[in-house]
Structures are given as structure tokens and as C-alpha cells.
Amino acid sequence: KVMMGAERRSMAMTEEEKLATAYHEAGHAIVNIVVPGNDPLHKVTIIPRGRALGVTMSLPERDKLSYSKEWCEGKIAMAFGGRVAEQLVYGKEHLNTGASSDITQATNIAKRMVTEWGMSEKLGPLLYNENQQEVFLGHSITQTQNMSEDTARLIDGEVRRIVLEGYQKAWDVLTEHRKDLEAITQALMEYETISGAECMALMRGEKIVRQSDDTEHKGPIGSAVPIAGRSPRPPREEPGPGMEPQPS
């Protein structure tokens, strides 16, 4: 509860909002499972917590002292899983503010990859963010650091490229796993909270069956959901809709 935030069961949500949240979180979950580099999926819920309507949480298998480029790219793709899932279901023109924190998180990771962690081939292993200033998207970087406008534009372009590649990766994964998206969404609508293991079982085409002594979950006892289709230091962010807290 501490990591995911306090539940807000009193928050009124319409069935339409609940379904959209389920698609959003299912999208995060599938991208988390499929894209290499992500930590193992721990839990997915559509019970409102904090400011988020739902949360998808992954946990590392052991303490991490550093983060790989693959981890960063996987986290960015996962961040866009929620918005992409909603667009696949409701249409590409379906845009709302629900992915705001996800976009912020993805952009911040990409920015640090380029300006602090030396993960851009075009810019190389140099530090461009020594004073922790905003070094992209039109900020007056030449006033705070000895950096040319050409370099600033290159940083902006690299951040944009990394973010858009993550978005496209999420789109490709969820297009391929559309049946899994429906199955996990239906499971969330029925149970509200499901484990990472249950998500993976659904993606293998299995069912969720819970026993009467299952105290971790709160769904209907012994019922099943439909079968799925066969088929250095990260940014500090508050957990946004669908995303787990970042390590600090």
C-alpha cells in the first residue's frame, strides 16, 4: 500500500471510466511483460490510488545499483502502453489527460539518457546537464552552460527520437497482443486487482481461478475470466496513472 499509494475506493467512477482505466492498465502490463529490460510485473489494479485511477507495478528481483539502456527503453515503452491501448480500442483520435504522468516520466528518462547517462550515439558520453537545468525543448541553455544552439537542437532531437521509438514499440506490441489486451481488461473489470503471474497466465491462454482461501485477491471466488488469445539513477517521479513509483 505504501509503494502503490492508499486506495480510494470511495472515488466514484462510471463503468465507462472504469473500462477505459482497465484498458489503460492492461496496456501497461502487456508492454511490461513483452518488452525486454523491464522489471517483473508484480500487480495491476484499477482501484484508484492517490491521484491515479489505476496502477501497474513492477518490482526488481534484486536491488539495482545502476540501470541499463535496455531498462530505460523498456520503461519508456511501458509508459506509453496505457495511451496506446486506449487508442487501439477507442481510435487514434482518442486523447485525454490520463497519460500526463506517463508522458512526463518517459520524457524525463529519455532526457537523462541523452544529457547525463551518455546513452546517445550522436552526443556521446558527455554530461550536458551539470547544473540540473532543463536542457531541452527551448530552454535558454546557452545562458547557463557553454553549449551551442546546434548542440541544444541535437539534444532535443535525440530526446524526441527516443520517446517516439518507445511509443512505436508499445504500439507494435499491443497490436500483436490485442486479444491479450481484451482478456486482461476483462479480468481487471471482474477482479479489480490481478497479479503479474495471473497476467502472464492469461497471455498463455489460461484462466484465472481463485480459491476460497485466497486472501490476497478480492474477486469472485472460484470464477474464471475468458481465455486470452494465443498468440546511475532514474528520474524521481510520483507514480502517475498506470505507472509504479520510480526507484530513488
Angle at the Cα of 115 (from 109 to 117), degrees rounded to 5? 70
Q: Strand (E) positions, 122-240?
A: 193-195
Q: What is the distance between the terminal CA atoms of the chain, rounded to a whole angstrom?
A: 18
Catalytic residues: 25
Q: Would you say how long the chain is, in residues?
A: 248
**Residues in CB range of 98: below 8 A, 6 or more apart:** 20, 21, 24, 53, 82, 83, 86, 241
Instruction: Measure the CA–CA gap between 79 and 162, rounded to whole angstroms.
Output: 13
* Number of neighbours of residue 118 by Cβ within 10 angstroms: 16
Closest CA to 76 of 4, 155, 171: 171
